[in-house]
């Protein structure tokens, strides 16, 4: 037992030294890239246990080596890096993403907003969600009769009119 004790100390010391050794800029950039990839994956699907463990390890390494353990700095970097790395989506694409992820209330709110300014496809979807809400989604989607009539009018309008007056659609 006494012979193993110094060996165990040497192994622990080597691991501690390796953990404290500074990483190169290339290594840090790779960690950042992997961290953002993990974030994108985890935002749209449940990660497999091995992937989740790898992502947790990546986050820990990035926190320690890039940000000196300062979680607030990591969070600030992540917010700005995430915004820069994500492709710009239109409001309609964002609504579709919410819908596909099962976030129906958020999807309906966006589709309704787009329908209000004349987006044809958004009006069609909002009307369908309103009509079949309780049966298909387990929730009722509210809209005033005036709003519903406006959406119906959008559908009745010339199909070549495009997305309507929505500048961001």
Tell me the domain boundaries of the chain.
23-85, 91-161
Please state whether 69 falls in left (phi above 0), alpha (psi between -120 and 50) or beta.
Answer: left
Residue 7: the pLDDT is 44
Joined together, the tokens standing for residue 23 give 């990483």
pTM of the model: 0.48
Gap between the Cα atoms of 95 and 97, Å rounded: 5
Residue 125: the pLDDT is 96
Closest CA to 37 of 58, 16, 21, 9: 58
Closest CA to 36 of 72, 74, 89, 91: 74
Q: Residue 138: pLDDT above 90? A: yes
Q: Regarding predicted confidence, which is higher, 165 or 27?
A: 27
Closest CA to 29 of 60, 75, 57, 62: 62
CB atoms within 10 A of CB 11: 10
Residue 25: the pLDDT is 79
Gap between the Cα atoms of 34 and 4, Å rounded: 37
Residue 1: the pLDDT is 43
- Min mean pLDDT across 25-29, 34-38, 113-117, 143-147 is at 25-29
Q: Summarize the confidence of residues 105-116 as an average pLDDT.
A: 94
Q: Summarize the confidence of residues 40-56 as an average pLDDT.
A: 84
Joined together, the tokens standing for residue 16 give 């501690």
Long-range pairs of 128-137 with CB within 8 A, sequence gap ≥ 24: 129/104, 133/104, 133/108, 137/104
Q: Summarize the confidence of residues 46-63 as an average pLDDT.
A: 90
Q: Is 97 helix (H, G, I), strand (E, B) or coil?
A: helix
């Amino acid at each position: 037992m006494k012979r193993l004790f110094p060996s165990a100390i040497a192994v622990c010391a080597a691991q501690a030294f390796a953990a404290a050794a500074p990483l190169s800029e290339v290594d840090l950039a790779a960690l950042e890239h992997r961290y953002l990839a993990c974030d994108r994956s985890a935002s749209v699907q449940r990660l497999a246990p091995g992937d989740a463990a790898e992502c947790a390890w990546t986050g820990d390494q990035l926190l320690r080596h890039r940000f000196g353990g300062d979680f607030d700095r990591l969070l600030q970097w992540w917010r700005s890096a995430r915004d820069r790395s994500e492709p710009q989506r239109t409001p309609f694409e964002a609504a579709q993403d919410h819908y596909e992820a099962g976030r129906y209330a958020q999807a309906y709110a966006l589709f309704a907003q787009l329908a209000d300014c004349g987006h044809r496809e958004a009006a069609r979807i909002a009307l369908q969600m309103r009509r079949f809400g309780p049966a298909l989604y387990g929730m009722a989607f509210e809209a005033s009769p005036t709003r519903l009539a406006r959406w119906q009018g959008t559908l009745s309008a010339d199909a070549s009119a495009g997305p309507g007056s929505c500048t961001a659609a």
